[in-house]
Amino acid sequence: MKRPLFRSLMAIVAVTALAACDSGSSGAQQVPTGTAISAARCAQNKAAGKITFLTGYYYQASASILEYVAAKKLGYFDALCLDVGIQPGTGDTGHNTQLLASGQATVSPVSEQDVIQARDNGVNVEGISAYSNAGLEILMTMPDVTALNQLNGTTLGHRGALPIGVQVMLVDAGADLKSIKQVTVGYDSSVLTRGQVKSLTGFVSNEPNLLKAAGTPVTAWRPYDYHVPGSLGGMAVNPAFAAKNPTAVQDFLRAGLHAYEYCSAKSEECVGYASDLSAGGYDKAHNLKIWQTETALVQETKPAATPLGTIDLNNVAALADLLARYSVLKNPATAEQAKTYFDNSFVSAIYDSGKLVWPAP
């Protein structure tokens, strides 16, 4: 899944040339090094060496980015004896998975469907957590559209390709996809409000918030509401690193989930940390809305009776089936094969009776 705001800026931008996150001071209350961990576990985590967290899309305040930026700033990684550097990704998920597989990155936000597609392409990454079975991709219309089959015979705008979840939603809602003219548009969402297209793809936390702020609310049609599988807040790791350093992976997630709780209560503060890392032009108000929208979606749609971050393997199976049915995969994995691309053990190790354990053992 490409991150909101822009599609791929191409892999020309070398991640190694981008500035790593700095844990300098701006009022954050730092947690002293090693104070949330035993001496033995601290030694294990230090032995893991440098962990490079590659964000999905720069320092956007998305779930799976903002909490890890905050974990660095608040000293949570230091408290667990983890040496974490943060590199801004460009939104190109395929490039991120290649960097993970090669070991140039250690951990990165990757949706469940993108993990499956990466493995289909021979790119070896492992999913280790996810927040929700709802994806971010949506279809937007003006409020006069009250049913998706009203789009028959109209023009649909997208950013280069119709997201698979939106495609399935349209078909399942009874729309005649063959009658809908698809056109590639730029990143100016006013093509919808000006009537140049009848519908437009986007991300639930991005374009609807921008258009509402501009005084033009739109209707967001979510594939999740049509029982189309997706995922939000997925995280993937380099498998060799995870096999060699399980406590470091556990505690990386522990720090991020601990910061998720913190940022849920202190959203503006955490958005400020992300803004501090950006080169300029960071829209704090819009990024705050992105975080609030995505965390509200997580709260609404996360699998019931499971700790936050737990991967729903039934959802993985459903995604594998969907990707196979719509010919997205070259060598479609069975549901059981797809499940082996994910490992819940790292998340399950950091909870006790459904409660995140902090400090660590």
H or E stretch covering 351: strand 351-352
Residue 72 has phi, psi (to 5 degrees) of -65, -50
Query: What DSSP designation does 54 have?
Result: E
Strands 199-203 and 155-158: parallel
What's the domain range around 282? 15-133+231-356
Band (pLDDT 50/70/90 cuts) for residue 15 is very low
Cβ-count burial of 131 within 10 angstroms (0-12 exposed, 13-18 middle, 19+ buried)?
A: buried
Please indicate, yes or no, whether residues 272 and 192 belong to a single structural domain of this protein.
no
Please give the Cα distance from 349 to 249 (Å, whole number).
10
Q: What is the DSSP string of 110-140?
A: --HHHHHHHHHTT---EEEEBSBS--SEEEE
Provide the residue type at 89 as one letter. G
Please indicate, yes or no, whether residues 127 and 244 belong to a single structural domain of this protein.
yes
Cβ neighbors of 237 (< 8 A, separation 6 or more) are 100, 106, 107, 125, 126, 128, 249
Asked whether residue 221 is assigned to any structural domain, the reply reads yes
CATH number for the domain spanning 216: value is 3.40.190.10
Please indicate, yes or no, whether residues 163 and 245 belong to a single structural domain of this protein.
no
pLDDT tens figures, 79-92: 999 999 999 999 99
End-of-domain residue from the set 226, 251, 283: 226
Instruction: From residue 30, give the alpha-carbon distance in Å to each of 64, 76, 339.
Output: 21, 8, 38
Please indicate, yes or no, whether residues 300 and 343 belong to a single structural domain of this protein.
yes
Q: How many domains does the chain have?
A: 2
Asked whether residue 290 is assigned to any structural domain, the reply reads yes
Residue 48 backbone zone (phi > 0: left; psi -120 to 50: alpha; other: beta):
alpha
Asked whether residue 6 is assigned to any structural domain, the reply reads no
Cβ count within 10 A of residue 257: 24
Asked whether residue 345 is assigned to any structural domain, the reply reads yes
Query: What DSSP designation does 149 have?
Result: G
Mean pLDDT across 205-227: 97
Mean pLDDT across 302-325: 95
Asked whether residue 9 is assigned to any structural domain, the reply reads no
Contact (Cβ atoms closer than 8 angstroms) between residue 298 and residue 204? no
Q: What is the pLDDT of residue 348?
A: 98
Query: What DSSP designation does 224 have?
Result: G
Asked whether residue 50 is assigned to any structural domain, the reply reads yes
Check whether 75 has a pLDDT greater than 90.
Answer: yes
What's the start-to-end Cα distance of the chain, in Å?
Answer: 35
Task: For 49-75, give one letter per residue: b (16+ CB within 10 A) or e.
Answer: eebbbbbbbbbbbbbbbbbbbbbbbbb
pLDDT tens figures, 94-118: 999 999 999 999 999 999 999 999 9
Please indicate, yes or no, whether residues 210 and 101 belong to a single structural domain of this protein.
no
Check whether 346 has a pLDDT greater than 60.
Answer: yes
Please indicate, yes or no, whether residues 41 and 79 belong to a single structural domain of this protein.
yes
Percentage of residues of the chain with pLDDT beyond 70: 91
Residue 140 has phi, psi (to 5 degrees) of -110, 145
**What is the sign of the dihedral through the CA atoms of 199, 201, 206 and 210?**
negative
Mean pLDDT across 189-195: 96
Please indicate, yes or no, whether residues 22 and 128 belong to a single structural domain of this protein.
yes
Band (pLDDT 50/70/90 cuts) for residue 220 is very high
Please indicate, yes or no, whether residues 344 and 300 belong to a single structural domain of this protein.
yes
End-of-domain residue from the set 172, 191, 226: 226
Cis omega (within 30 of 0) on the bond before 359? yes
Please indicate, yes or no, whether residues 245 and 221 belong to a single structural domain of this protein.
no
Please give the Cα distance from 263 to 27 (Å, whole number).
15
End-of-domain residue from the set 209, 226, 243: 226
Asked whether residue 210 is assigned to any structural domain, the reply reads yes
Please indicate, yes or no, whether residues 241 and 127 belong to a single structural domain of this protein.
yes
Mean pLDDT across 345-357: 97
Please indicate, yes or no, whether residues 120 and 185 belong to a single structural domain of this protein.
no
Q: What is the pLDDT of residue 360?
A: 85
Q: What is the pLDDT of residue 29?
A: 59
Contact (Cβ atoms closer than 8 angstroms) between residue 56 and residue 93? yes
pLDDT tens figures, 177-186: 999 999 999 8
Q: What is the DSSP string of 249-306?
A: HHHHHHHHHHHHHHHHH-HHHHHHHHHHHSSS---HHHHHHHHHHHHHHHHHHSPTTS
Please indicate, yes or no, whether residues 210 and 166 belong to a single structural domain of this protein.
yes
Band (pLDDT 50/70/90 cuts) for residue 22 is very low
Contact (Cβ atoms closer than 8 angstroms) between residue 127 and residue 93? no
- Please give the distance of CA 200 from its chain centroid, rounded to a whole number: 21
Please give the Cα distance from 197 to 47 (Å, whole number).
55
CA-atom Rg of the chain in angstroms:
20
Reading the block at residue 270, the tokens are: 């955490």
Asked whether residue 143 is assigned to any structural domain, the reply reads yes
pLDDT tens figures, 24-50: 334 455 676 777 899 999 999 999 999
Strands 137-141 and 219-221: antiparallel
Mean pLDDT score of the chain, rounded to an integer? 91
Query: What DSSP designation does 221 have?
Result: E
